[in-house]
A and B are shown apart, each in its own frame.
Chain A
């Protein structure tokens, strides 16, 4: 690869000159941080609120070494193609780091853009849990547990805590759903459980009626494991209710927000990396600030809390290493390895060699009275 480097020499020097001019002009200007997610939907909106709150708070306390932080926000509409477009736009805007994307599918689709060896930029996802995110590139990180952790935690909960022996898996047919499906399937069967059926569905308005009809007919399953997001979970619960299926629904962080679905959702189990009622001092402060800033909004989601953590984590790193993209990446990668862990509202963030946070815990909560309450004795 020695000579491959020279191929980009003219382009590289041009870039260097451009960067130099940018760096010079940016000396007094704000530091740009990208934010990419589906801000028009109910998952992305809290993330944006948390990011803007964090930037406001950070700039009030001096920004980064006296320079203001400015968000460059690009909507990816939760769609892989749009994610690539958004990523390209952020790269071109000269951001020094990107917070995003939210879904595993969009994160994986955009990762090659951020990892482009010509001019890579660090990408930290708050909520992409798919196993494929691991190894998507040296510049791709996440601060949430992976689906392997979610699947294993839920399988243990179902098999050991609840004593379930049979279950049905419904999954959103995207990387997130498939990853969660596979990790739950492996862990649950390892623990001696049996899966009666594994069925995919498509996002948006899923048609799971045929699957539920079969489930109803067989009557073996003690629970439905849903690897997907809460709108699909709500639709599934509605369809199940119409068939008088009264077994609990289990799911990962994608089900966050299901608790607002009313009585349908009551008794469902949701695993998450974060709950708004975490008792830590940082979290209480964050939740209070969020509520003050956005009165009437729902308590912050996992993606929102993780976004808040990522922004302050980036603030620390950039404050130490400056605005060079490569140095920022190295500074982020060092956290938990050679640099101290970051103690955030979602817990302690410490990256492993793959850019994952294996120490982030998974908490399982039960929907009760429109709230997710952590199950006792985890």
Chain B
């Protein structure tokens, strides 16, 4: 039995042969019974007719002899007629005896002997009758006496014929016995053959199922261990082949899903790495912004201090204008110094603004990438839904298989075990999918948080920019004011004498500048605070990124268990 196309067919064939053999047994039994009964009946009938014929023959012969004797003593037509008719009926009986079934050569010889003896007897009596008729009574008596011996031998012949029949009965009985024994043997043989076929078929069925199930279980074990590579199961019965193809199908789908998940996990990992690097860059940029602001702030302080000094100087100048024309020259030099300082600060602020612009660009890119990540995580969810669907289908399949196995009864027990294993596998794949769902959900919430934080950061960077622009404008204002101070100082050198009011205005302007510088300083502090805040947010983002990285690593490890 190398290959069985269907268990049901094998089972059917085995059952059919067993039933056929049992039917054959029944037929044989019935035939044997009928044969033996029929033969017994026939034998009994033959024996009956044989014995009745034999006794009839004896009667006919005896009445013939009686009539012959009577005719010898007192000749009469009636006695002569009875002598003849009895003899004839004896011959008729011999004819019937001759036609009995189951006669052997000895029987025929005895029947022939009976006929011959009867013929002798008749001739003897007829001769005696003739002699008596012509008055030779003594000779007649002598012949009659001699005929007595013939009579005895005739009776003996008929008796041995009866005995022969008895022997036949015995032989027939023996024959029947041996025939019955033969049928018994045949029946036993049939029964043994039926048993053999049934047991053989059972063993073959179990072996076939066992072997194929073993292969299926090994395949399921392999899948369970995470080795999802295709399995060559070979030819198997139709019922198991269905299961095998389902198993193969399931492995194929799992393979696709796992490879997708692995790809996604790698992408998430990459994105998280990028994200992390970006966060670090943002953090660094924020530090630079912060340092620049600190510088701006200290510059503004310097400016305020300078303004105060300028105020003092202007006051002194006011006094000196009146007194000293050289004071104008000093004022010009001082104004030059102020202008250079303002220009330097403007450059610093410009640098800070450019850095901020860079930060904004980076944050925007990060926001885009996080959005992409969020979309990817949605596709992961869709794949996981697919896994769930497959595992629920597999579960259903396993349930059906379990029902089929139950229907197969004893033979399906091993199969039921497989079905249970397959169901476990489906359950565990469902659980894994659930885990993945949770992880992805976590990642998505993290991404959402990161996204929000980034939006906040972007808004704050926008605020910083505005402040920086205000600082630049203020510095520009300082620059032009200084220019005007220089021009005024130059004019002052000529027109000190002419216009004292201008100095008063200058003083006023200086006071204005001092106010602007104070404002500027407070704005710088604000920017610094915002930068610090952003730095904190960036740190949050970095930690989120590292959490994302962790999650993607875990996901990678989870799917790395599968061999596709």
Contact = CB atoms under 8 A, between A and B. Distances in A.
Interface of A: 3-4, 6-7, 80-81, 84-85, 88, 108-109, 112, 132, 173-175, 178, 182, 197-202, 207, 210-211, 213-214, 217
Given A108-B98, A214-B133, A80 B112 contact: yes
Contact of A109 (B34, B112, B120, B123): B112
Interface stretch (B101-109, B164-172, B299-307, B385-393): B101-109
B99 interface: yes
Interface of B: 31, 34-35, 38-39, 42, 84, 88, 91, 95, 98-99, 103, 105, 108-109, 112, 115, 119-120, 122-123, 126-127, 130-131, 133-134, 136, 179
B81 to A, nearest CB: 10
Nearest to B135: A217
A197 B129 CA distance: 10
Contact of B130 (A84, A178, A213): A213
Nearest to A185: B84
Contact of A202 (B39, B109, B123, B134): B123
Contact of B35 (A6, A88, A175, A217): A6
A197 to B, nearest CB: 7
B99 A112 contact: yes
A200 B123 contact: yes
A82 to B, nearest CB: 10
Contacts of B179: 7
Interface of B is mostly: helix
Contacts of B127: 199, 207, 210-211
B453 to A, nearest CB: 103
A24 B56 CA distance: 49
Nearest to A210: B130
Residue of A3, A132, A201 ringed by the most chain B CB atoms within 10 A: A3
A81 B122 CA distance: 21
Nearest to B33: A3
A174 B134 contact: no
Contact of B119 (A7, A197, A202, A207): A202
A211 B179 CA distance: 58
B97 to A, nearest CB: 10
Query: Lowest 6 A-B CB distances belong to which pairs?
Result: A173-B119, A210-B130, A80-B112, A3-B34, A199-B126, A214-B130
Contact of A112 (B35, B103, B109): B103
A109 B108 contact: yes
Contacts of A200: 119, 122-123, 126
A207 B128 CA distance: 12
Contacts of A7: 35, 39, 179
Given A84-B108, A178-B88, A178-B91, A197 B130 contact: yes
Contacts of A3: 31, 34-35, 38
Contacts of A213: 130, 134
A4 B42 contact: yes
Nearest to A174: B119
B491 to A, nearest CB: 154
A320 to B, nearest CB: 31
24 contacts: A3-B35, A3-B38, A4-B35, A4-B38, A6-B31, A7-B179, A80-B112, A81-B108, A112-B98, A112-B103, A173-B119, A173-B122, A178-B91, A198-B84, A199-B126, A200-B119, A200-B122, A201-B123, A202-B123, A210-B127, A211-B130, A213-B130, A214-B130, A217-B133
A375 to B, nearest CB: 31
Contacts of A4: 35, 38-39, 42
Residue of A84, A175, A217 ringed by the most chain B CB atoms within 10 A: A84
A55 B103 CA distance: 34
Contacts of A198: 84
Contact of A173 (B38, B109, B112, B123): B123
Given A80-B112, A81-B109, A108 B126 contact: no
Contacts of B122: 173, 200
Residue of B120, B126, B133 ringed by the most chain A CB atoms within 10 A: B126
Contacts of B84: 198
A67 B91 CA distance: 44
Contacts of A201: 123
Contacts of B108: 80-81, 84, 109, 112
Contacts of A6: 31, 35
B125 to A, nearest CB: 9
Nearest to B118: A173
Contacts of A175: 91
Contacts of B34: 3
Contacts of A202: 119-120, 123
A6 B179 CA distance: 12
A199 B84 CA distance: 10
Given A84-B108, A84-B109, A210-B134, 18 more contacts: A3-B38, A4-B35, A4-B38, A6-B31, A7-B35, A7-B39, A80-B108, A80-B115, A84-B105, A85-B105, A108-B95, A112-B98, A199-B130, A202-B119, A210-B130, A211-B127, A213-B134, A217-B133
A192 to B, nearest CB: 18
A174 B118 CA distance: 10
A370 to B, nearest CB: 31
A217 B134 contact: yes
A196 to B, nearest CB: 11
B156 to A, nearest CB: 18
A200 B90 CA distance: 15
Residue of A4, A108, A109, A200 ringed by the most chain B CB atoms within 10 A: A200
Contacts of A199: 126-127, 130
A77 to B, nearest CB: 13
Contacts of B131: 210
B91 to A, nearest CB: 7
A88 B106 CA distance: 13
B308 to A, nearest CB: 144
Contacts of B98: 108-109, 112
Contacts of A173: 119-120, 122-123
A111 to B, nearest CB: 8
A181 B374 CA distance: 135
Contact of B95 (A80, A88, A132, A207): A132
Contacts of A85: 105
Nearest to B128: A210
Residue of A4, A108, A202, A210 ringed by the most chain B CB atoms within 10 A: A210
Nearest to B136: A210
Contacts of B134: 210, 213-214, 217
